[in-house]
Amino acid sequence: MGIPHSGRKLIVEKGSVKASQMPSLQDIESMMVGIDDMEEFKRVFLIFACATLLAPTSHLEGSHLLWYTPREQLLGNINWGEYVLEFFIQAIHEHRRKESVWIKGCLMFLQIFYFSISNFPTMYMELTTPRIAAWNDFLVKQRIKLELEMLGGFGKVELVSTSAEQDETEKNKAPAVDDPVDPDENEDFDVILHT
């Protein structure tokens, strides 16, 4: 998605925060307009970006844990890709344990990840970095429409191998003398890091 996927792990305070102590997204938007301190603006903007795109919850408010995490913890060389992925995985676990009706997290990441690892021959998309750069609203809707019409649902397409799986398979298979090697067959599908 074009967010940093290296750097230090974001450590958030795990204290309990009451919902009444958390400003709404509308309040956060208003705050950003009036902030003169650039470091404070960055902190509030990151919380807003997480609440609306990177790690949204089912409520119209930001992460309580991020809101009360000190500014110096949020700014700098943070691995936001790891944070988004861990938030999403935690949300899936909560959903499986029936603690949550909704799946929280970046559903756009899940959508682009699914599109990137599934082989849908009717619609070829160039593998770009970040993966999301190849998609726009029209293409996403078109892909969904085609998959529903042609296959009757999701999850029925063949998955493409990642480079690690492909390397292991290729290592165990000796090429035949008559079998020409095609360099394009061994493209690097490093899906998670560049999604």
Tens-digit pLDDT profile for residues 14-29: 665 555 567 778 888 8
Top pLDDT among 110 and 39 is at 39
- Boundary residue ending a domain (96, 130, 154): 96
Q: Which of 48-52, 104-108, 109-113, 185-189 has the lowest mean pLDDT?
A: 185-189
149 and 116 in a single domain? The answer is yes
77 with 32, same domain: the answer is yes
Same-domain pairing of 112 and 92: no
Residues 74 and 148 in one domain: no
Report yes or no on 41 lying in a domain: yes
Please check whether residues 45 and 69 belong to one and the same domain. yes
**37-61 burial code (b ≥16 CB/10 A, e <16):** eeeeeebbebbbebbeebbbbeeeb
- Residue 129 shares a structural domain with residue 174: yes
In this prediction, residue 195 carries a pLDDT of 38
Total number of domains in the chain = 2
Domain boundary among 44, 72, 96: 96
Domain end, chosen from 62, 96, 130, is at 96
Q: Is the dihedral of CA 169, 175, 178, 179 positive or negative?
A: positive
Q: Write out the residue range of the structural domain in which residue 124 sits.
A: 107-194
76 and 154 assigned to the same domain:
no
Full-prediction pTM beyond 0.75? no
Q: Does residue 148 fall inside a structural domain?
A: yes
* pLDDT of 171: 43
Q: Share the mean pLDDT of the chain.
A: 73
User: What mean pLDDT comes out for the span 82-109?
Assistant: 81
Mean pLDDT of 66-94: 82
Q: Does residue 78 sit in the same domain as residue 141?
A: no
